[in-house]
Every structure is written in structure tokens, then in C-alpha cells.
Amino acid sequence: MFVYADNAATSKVSPAVLDAMLPFLKDTYGNPSSLHTMGQKAAEHLLAARESMARHLNCEPKELYFTSGGSESDNQAIISAAKVGARRNKKHIITTAIEHHAVLHTLAQLEREGYTVTYLPVSSTGLVTAEQVKEAITEETCLVTIMYANNEIGTILPVKEIGAVCKEKGVYFHTDAVQAAGHIHIDVKDQNIDMLSLSAHKFHGPKGVGALYVRSGIPITVLINGGGQEKGKRSGTENMPGIMGMAKAFDDACNNIDANAAKVGALRDKLIAGLSKIPHCALNSDPKLRLPGNVNFCFEGIEGESLLLLLDSKGICASSGSACASGSLDPSHVLLAIGRPHEIAHGSLRLSLCEYNTEEEMDYILQEVPKVVEYLRNMSPMWKDLISGKKNFTL
Amino acid sequence: MALYTDTVMDHFLNPRNVGSMEDADGVGEVGNAKCGDIMKMYVKIKDNVIEDVRFETFGCGSAIASSSMATELIKGKTIEEALAVTNKDVVNALGGLPAIKLHCSVLAEEALKTAIKDYYDKNGIEYDHTQFPDCDACEHGCHMV
């Protein structure tokens, strides 16, 4: 059996999305900036795509900029707010310890340029509170950037409340909604969001395309200069097949958001219940206050990369926050931030589901994961030390 | 996964000489849990020959494959031959490892040398201490090559 359970890494392009993209590769391949009929036809579709996505986010079409994806959107949002801040002599930014590297590395660059960044600690389930944000805001704060939902452990953060605090204090609020968009309801007005990043390939759109919402009136810093596309804020000929695919994928995801969440959430809960039976394991983050498709466990006594490779050999695609799986010395900064010790964080497994997954696939995962965990534990000297009582269990 | 060679995957999926050994003549354990790699090797020595060898590993795919390959390289060899096995030999026998995984082969070399050192120590055999890894260093954190 083949089971794709790595949808938080990327998701498959749905058949309907592919159908929406192909005409812009085959027939209507004109440049939306061209004056001829084919170009203008592309421009009309571009406008329709922007209107459709804006409607789902509850923003104006002119507040939505198409980009190359989540990373570019995060970079542009943060740098834009930082530049505005610098002009007002406000060079302090607030974020959390569990952001995606697209945010963290952009902030690290700003720190090298003289900005100060506060990394709010998170709870054991990956939460920060609006109160924490409120207390961290100073006269110098120019931006609060906090993710909508975490990519590793699926925690959904209290964005609306954080946004309200920022609004009250007159500080820009950006949220990296890459994992949330298309999966949970987003309303930028109701949720007090000034800037929002999203990426198409996380909701069955194509890779290499995303969007940035920026509330009207917030000055945007241009990262890519050129022909002045996207109202001069993001040059480069529009990725028409990509944008058409993203708009279709977002429309489908938002129109079916509750049904998908119910279906995927049930699969998630089944996996969580089943995997919890493995001795000396722990679910990362809250069982309910998490993305519908996110399952993340730590298994004591084993290492995540070998777990992934063995699952791969059984046809199961998953992910891990172990150092080896990420190609670095340290395990996931997110697992460390929620208080998992290094040796526990090395043994993590993320399974991320979507509406194309089935009950049978969950049964197969629940059949294979315990076997693989047991197999690895049986060859692990660390496990031997734990069961012999030489060392104490953490989980 | 194209990350690893077929030989690495073979040794990972079908590890040779895996398990513990009740009556081992020497046991060596290196690495630490914080770094995500622990290797433990057991050797049975008779007439200066590594008659049998077993390993247990907590670690990634290349750590398990490196352990497995290291046991294969020393099984049936004299102690001197076994001590001459280096991490490069392990890497070459595996058909290569990604640069970031080379430390796994170093751990394998250190684990088998530490097991032989334990055999020497247990049997009061004189040896050149510089031949063996400084195991205190293993406790001081992760090392990369």
C-alpha cells in the first residue's frame, strides 16, 4: 500500500486544479501585460483569480499580491514592516520561538542590521497568548509576526486575539498562514490581520506560487524590481498557470473547508488514538486545538530518520523533526521550544493528512508504525538502558 | 531514497550482526542520545581473532548501516586487522555516505575500537593508548567531520 501522509510538506495538485492550469500553458498563454486579445484574456483571468481569492480572505482584490510562495510572502511582509518601522525609529519586532525558517531567518537578517527581535516562548502545546504579545509590545515595536498554525505540531494560534492587541497598540500584525490557508477559516478583517502569507501547494495547488495580503495603506517594500507587475510591488511576468491553479485550489478548499476538516479531523483523531497505544510515546501539541490533518508524536528510544526510512520502505511517506532528518545537528526548534529534550525530539514523527487520505490508509499506518517502532527499539542501546532501568523514561 | 546508496539501504533494511551478546569479551559504547546517535558493539575474541560481533544502534539510517558494515568488516579478522579498519573503509564499503553523515562512520570505527579496548582492559593486556579514541570526548557533545 502507498500512503502519502506528508501533506504539510506539500500536497498533490488536484485533478480540477490541473484542469484549471492547463489552458494557460496550452491555449491562453499570453502575457497579461500584452495588449493583444490573448494577453488581455489572460489579464481578465488574472483579475478573476485575484477577486476569487480576495473574497475568500475577506479583503479587497487590490490588497492581494501574487508571489512565488510562502517564503517570498513572509520575507516581503516582514521587510516591509521593518522599513516602515525604521523610518519611525521603531526597530523592535515580536515573534515566537516556533515560526517557520522563512520568518526566523528573515528576522535574523534584520537583527544583523540592528533590529531587536523578541522571541516569545510557547506553552507545552505550542501556544502564545495575546497577553504575552501585549506585554512584549514597546514604543519601539514596529511588527508582530506570529504564525497562524504551526507546520510541525499543528497548533492553531489565537490570531484574532493577537491581532486585536496589535490593532489597539497600533502595531502591524503579520501572520504566516501557510499551513492554515484552505484548511481553517480565515477572515483578515474579522481576525485583525494586517498582512498574511499563503502558499498554493499546501492546499492542492501547484508549487512556486503564493500570495501576500497587505492591508491598504501599509507601505510595501519591493523585493523584485522589473516591469512593475502586481501594482509595482512585485515585478516579473505573472505565473499564470500557477496563479490559476492556486485560485482554483483555494476556491475548492474554502468551499469545502468544513466538510474537509470534519473528514480529515476524524482520520487524525483515529491516528492519534491508535498511536497513543504505543508505550512511551507522547503526542506533541494539543489533541484538539490543532490543524485537522496534523499528527505529531515522539517515540522514546528511537531516532526519527530511521523511522522515516523504514516507513518509506513500507510505502508510507511521513516526516520527522530529528536532526538527521533535517540535515542539521539539532532536532526541530519547535519540539525543543515546547520543552521536549533533545533525545526525545530526535524520535519524532509527523503524519499530515488531507481529504484524499482514507480510513484504510489509517489502518495501514496503525498496523505498520508500531511494528517499526518496536523493531528500532529492539536494536537501540538507549531503549535497552530504559527498559532495564539503567536510565529513567522521560515519556 | 536517493539520499543513500543501495548498499547503505541494504545494510539499513537488513542489518547484519544486530543484537546484543551475553558473553561478550569486549563491549564498546560511543555517542550520546542528545546528538541522536549511540552505537554499542560487542566482540567475542578467541585466539586473537574476532570470532563474533554484534551491534545495537540508536540513530539514523546511516548510523545503523555503518554499524552493520563495520561488524562485517571485522568479523573473522585478527585484532590487529580489526584495529586497522577506519571510518573511510566503512564509507568505501558502503559505496559512500552523504557528507553530513560521515560522522556515523566515525562512530562505527570508534565503537569497534572501544570494544577491543574493553577486551584489552578486561584481560590485562598492554596496549598503545593512542590507538584508541578518547571516550570522554564522546560525552562532550556532537562532533562532525
Q: How far apart are CA A300 and CA A387, in angstroms?
A: 11
Q: How far apart are CA A144 and CA A81, in angstroms?
A: 9
Instruction: Give the SS3 label for residue A150.
Output: coil
Residue B107 in any domain: the answer is yes
- In this complex, is the C-beta atom of A241 within 8 Å of any C-beta atom belonging to chain B? no
- In this complex, is the C-beta atom of A25 within 8 Å of any C-beta atom belonging to chain B? no
Strand order from edge to edge, sheet including B26-32 = B26-32, B37-46, B49-58
Instruction: Please answer whether residues A264 and A294 qualify as being in contact, where contact means their C-beta atoms are separated by less than 8 angstroms.
Output: no
pTM of the full structure: 0.94
pLDDT band at B135; cut points 50, 70, 90: low
Residue B94 in any domain: the answer is yes
Q: Residue A253's pLDDT is what?
A: 98
Instruction: Please answer whether residues A232 and A214 qualify as being in contact, where contact means their C-beta atoms are separated by less than 8 angstroms.
Output: no
Instruction: Give the SS3 label for residue A359.
Output: helix
- In this complex, is the C-beta atom of B63 within 8 Å of any C-beta atom belonging to chain A? yes
pLDDT band at B139; cut points 50, 70, 90: very low
Residue B66 in any domain: the answer is yes
B144 versus A379: the higher-pLDDT residue is: A379
Residue B141 in any domain: the answer is no
What's the total number of domains in chain B? 1
pLDDT band at B143; cut points 50, 70, 90: very low
pLDDT band at A322; cut points 50, 70, 90: confident
Instruction: Give the SS3 label for residue B79.
Output: helix
Which residue, B136, B138, B143, is CA-closest to B32? Answer: B138
Which residue, B17, B34, B21, B37, is CA-closest to B118? Answer: B21
- List beta partners, residue B38: B31, B58
Residue B82 in any domain: the answer is yes
Q: Residue B136's pLDDT is what?
A: 54
- CATH at residue B118: 3.90.1010.10
First-to-last C-alpha distance (Å) of chain A: 31
Compare all CA atoms of chain A with the CA of B141 and give the residue at the minimum distance.
A329
Q: CA-CA distances (angstroms) from residue B5 to A130, A182, B102?
A: 49, 38, 14
- The shortest CB-CB distance from B58 to any of A312, A342, A382 is to A382
pLDDT tens across A148-205, in order?
999 999 999 999 999 999 999 999 999 999 999 999 999 999 999 999 999 999 999 9
Residue B58 in any domain: the answer is yes
Interchain CB contacts (distance < 8 Å): A and B: 76
Taking phi first (over 0 means left), then psi (-120 to 50 degrees means alpha), and beta for anything else, what does residue A20 get?
alpha
Burial string for A324-340 (b: 16+ CB within 10 Å, else e) reads bbbeebbbbbbbbbbeb
pLDDT tens across B103-124, in order?
999 999 999 999 999 999 999 9
Give residues with Cβ within 8 angstroms of B145, minimum separation 6.
B87, B102, B103, B106
Q: Residue B110's pLDDT is what?
A: 96
Domain that holds residue B109: 6-124
- The shortest CB-CB distance from B34 to any of A322, A342, A380 is to A342
Choose, out of A320, A335, A382, the residue to mutate when testing the contact with B (most B CBs < 10 Å).
Answer: A382
Burial string for A106-115 (b: 16+ CB within 10 Å, else e) reads bbeebeeeeb
**Looking at the predicted structure, is the pLDDT value of residue A5 above 90?**
yes
Q: Residue A222's pLDDT is what?
A: 98
pLDDT tens across A365-395, in order?
999 999 999 999 999 999 999 999 999 999 9
Q: How far apart are CA B61 and CA A376, in angstroms?
A: 11
Q: Residue A49's pLDDT is what?
A: 98
Which residue, B60, B70, B62, is CA-closest to B18? Answer: B70
Active site residue B104: yes
**Looking at the predicted structure, is the pLDDT value of residue B132 above 90?**
no
Which residue, A104, A207, A117, A191, is CA-closest to A156? Answer: A191
Exactly one of B35, B135, B138, B142 is catalytic; which is it? B35
Q: How many helices (H) and strands (E) does chain B have?
A: 6, 3
Residue B1 in any domain: the answer is no
- In this complex, is the C-beta atom of B36 within 8 Å of any C-beta atom belonging to chain A? yes
First-to-last C-alpha distance (Å) of chain B: 23
Domains, chain A, with CATH or none: 15-255 (3.40.640.10), 256-384 (3.90.1150.10)
User: Could you please report the per-residue DSSP string of A2-41?
Assistant: -EE-BTTT--PPPHHHHHHHTHHHHT----TT--SHHHHH
ipTM summary value? 0.92
**Looking at the predicted structure, is the pLDDT value of residue B142 above 80?**
no
